[in-house]
């Protein structure tokens, strides 16, 4: 199977910066693993609440991307890797970067976005 997303994300705005995925979205990793984001997953994409306030440290193209949706779903414990929950923040961050790269975002955007989630993601990650 070809690495990357299987389709575009079908989203509906909920308000307050949140969206809901209306059709399941799947992603195939470079290693051939299958990740599914189920329909009805709520996301604010790749945003961050740092120091008690809303500060988005990610480059805008990375923030509102399918990779951001994937990353958010993993952090919120809704994405499944080969039918099991993904329980690793490091893996979530690595898949985020890989998905950005497969979606052909510029390498500097991918690099800055990855550094951002590694530095600040611990506040958003749900064990």
Give me the mean pLDDT over the 14-31 stretch.
91
Query: Residue 27 and residue 7: Cα distance in Å, rounded?
Result: 9
Query: What pLDDT score was predicted for residue 84?
Result: 79
The 10s digit of each residue's pLDDT in 39-78 is: 999 988 766 544 444 555 555 555 568 998 998 888 888 7
Spatial neighbors of 24 by CB under 8 A, at least 6 apart, are 36, 37, 38, 39
Report residue 77 CA to chain centroid gap: 11
Query: What pLDDT score was predicted for residue 50?
Result: 46
Computed over every residue of the chain, the mean pLDDT equals 82
Query: What pLDDT score was predicted for residue 25?
Result: 94
Count of alpha carbons within 13 Å of 94, Cβ hemisphere only? 9
pLDDT band at 99 (very low <50, low <70, confident <90, very high): very high
pLDDT top residue among 17 and 32: 32
Q: Express as a percent the part of the chain with pLDDT over 70.
A: 81
Give me the mean pLDDT over the 75-92 stretch.
81
Instruction: Give me the residue label for tokens 């299987």.
Output: 6
Domain boundaries, the chain: 4-123
Query: Which whole-number Å values give the CA distances from 5 to 54, 73, 99, 115, 123, in the listed order?
Result: 28, 14, 8, 22, 27
Considering the entire predicted model, what is its pTM? 0.83
Given a contact cutoff of 8 angstroms between Cβ atoms, the answer to whether 21 and 37 are in contact is yes
């Amino acid at each position: 199977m070809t690495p990357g997303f299987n389709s575009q994300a079908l989203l509906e705005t909920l308000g307050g910066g949140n969206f809901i995925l209306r059709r399941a979205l799947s992603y195939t990793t470079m290693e051939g693993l299958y990740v599914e984001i189920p329909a009805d997953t709520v996301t604010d994409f790749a945003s961050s609440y740092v120091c008690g306030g809303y500060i988005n440290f990610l480059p805008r193209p990375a923030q509102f991307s399918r990779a951001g949706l994937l990353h958010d779903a993993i952090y919120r414990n809704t994405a499944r890797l080969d039918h099991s929950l993904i329980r690793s923040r490091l893996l979530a961050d690595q898949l985020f970067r890989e998905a950005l790269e497969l979606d052909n975002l510029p390498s500097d955007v991918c690099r800055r976005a990855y550094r951002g989630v590694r530095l600040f993601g611990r506040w958003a990650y749900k064990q």
